Amino acid sequence: MTAQGDVISAEGSQQKTGVRWKIFVLMLFLITINYIDRASLSVAMPLISKEFGLDAAAQGFILSSFFWTYALMQIPGGMLADRYKPRIVIAAATIGWGFFQAIAAASTSSFMLILTRLGLGAAEAPIYPAGGKLNAMWMTPNERARGATLLDGGAPLGAALGALVIAGLIAAFDSWRISFAVAGIGTVLCGALAWWYIRNSPSEHPSVNEAEAKHIETAHALEDLNDPVSSGRGIGAYFAYRSVWCMCLGWMFFNTVFYGLLTWMPTHLFKVHGLDIKQLGGALFIMFFAGFIGELVGGQIADVWRERGGQPNTVFRTLFGIAAIIATISIFSVAYVKDAVIVVALLSSTLFFLRWCGMYWAIPSILATRNRAGFLGGCMNLGGNIAGVTVPIIVGFIVQFTGSYYLALMFFAAAGVALLVCSTAIDYSRKLPV
């Protein structure tokens, strides 16, 4: 199991390889690609709506369609990760969604576009539950916040790069279709890379040396000693616990804000603040890249705090509370500001702190044992993506019937308050006896 070229310290002891961190950098890359593909439709929507003659409600319907199958397949995706292990699930999902992203370029009607979005949603669904399972298998308890934020950090980074890349491709080729095809083909190649490098556990990876394997295995053994005695009940017993419901609802309210910004903010900035396609790409990059940096900062703070003796409830409730409060104030303020520069700054602040909640992906391994972390991650992301299904439609109708984005922004602010309540109600200190 010792990798060739292992590093030996001056004292003669073997230094740990960092394969687990390389795997999660790769997961960061895959989720980034995931969100580039996912965000491409939002960036291209001003052009697509003109070509297909779509009103605001129809646009919301199309933007929502991805989430119908994405939400439906969350729990099955988590169960697949638990049963067949994350490697094959992650690779197959990546290749699958790349295929549907590529063929979306051939859409000649809104109906065909919806069909490709349904396929994209189904293919992408297992990636997050499988990533949560990978976090439980590869990371120690004091590393999982960073693992979670590396995993989920691809969401804002992909949204940032998606806006920049897709807008750039559209501007260069004067075609949203070419941009979709290029993104899809690139994604298929990334799926092959995932299969080549990822393994289900440290013991299976040829580059993991003895020191790294021992570091992980020792931490897992200590964790297992504190696991509760199983009640022998089925997985449905998780839903008897407040923490599970608050985890799912908290993730739903988080995604209400994030998906609202992801799907509708490009159109808002385009129509309300007059940004052209190039300015739009730059603004969205700044906003979502701020979210990416915030996500990494939040994970680092949490793990350092935990390593220095911080209690799980104190650490997570404090950080989630700060994130929810500042994000809510920032997005509330957007409704009262007319200057486009200040609006982008406020939205950047919203996303910087909101993305601290990427640490939610550490919660399945906090509440469940490693053999059920995939299932609980699927449950959480099902809750989260109920927002993905409903928010684009709700915001579309709000905008169409009020003629403004004011009530939509108030809707996002209310979701931020609900995120605070749910995050505070979770008990992060113990695994559930299921």
User: What is the residue extent of each domain of the chain?
Assistant: 19-425
Rounded to 5, what percent of the chain is helix, strand, coil?
Answer: 80, 0, 20
The conformation of residue 17, written as its DSSP 8-state character, comes to: P
Quote the pLDDT of residue 265.
79
Q: Which residue has the higher pLDDT, 64 or 294?
A: 294
Q: What is the pLDDT of residues 21-72, one digit of tens each?
A: 999 999 999 998 888 887 788 778 888 888 888 887 788 788 878 878 888 8
Quote the pLDDT of residue 317.
97
Q: Are 420 and 321 in contact (CB under 8 A)?
A: yes
Quote the pLDDT of residue 230.
63
Work out the angle between the directed axes of helices 406-425 and 242-271 (0-180°, nearest 10): 160
Confidence class of residue 8 from pLDDT cuts 50, 70 and 90? Answer: very low
The three-point CA angle 130-379-67 to 5° equals: 85
* CATH entry 1.20.1250.20 includes domain 19-425: yes
Which segment of 246-250, 284-288, 290-294 scores lowest on mean pLDDT?
Answer: 284-288
Q: Are 160 and 292 in contact (CB under 8 A)?
A: yes
Quote the pLDDT of residue 402.
86
Q: What is the pLDDT of residues 73-89, one digit of tens each?
A: 888 888 888 888 889 99
Quote the pLDDT of residue 363.
93
168 three-class SS: helix
**Residues sharing a CB contact under 8 Å with residue 341, sequence separation 6 or more, in sequence order:** none
- Among 27, 257, 247, smallest CA distance to 132 is for 27
Quote the pLDDT of residue 13.
66
Letter for the amino acid at 282? G
- Which residue matches tokens 């350092």? 304
Report the distance separating Cα 45 and Cα 125, nearest Å: 23
Cα torsion through 59, 64, 65, 66, rounded to 10: 120
Confidence class of residue 318 from pLDDT cuts 50, 70 and 90? Answer: very high
Quote the pLDDT of residue 416.
96
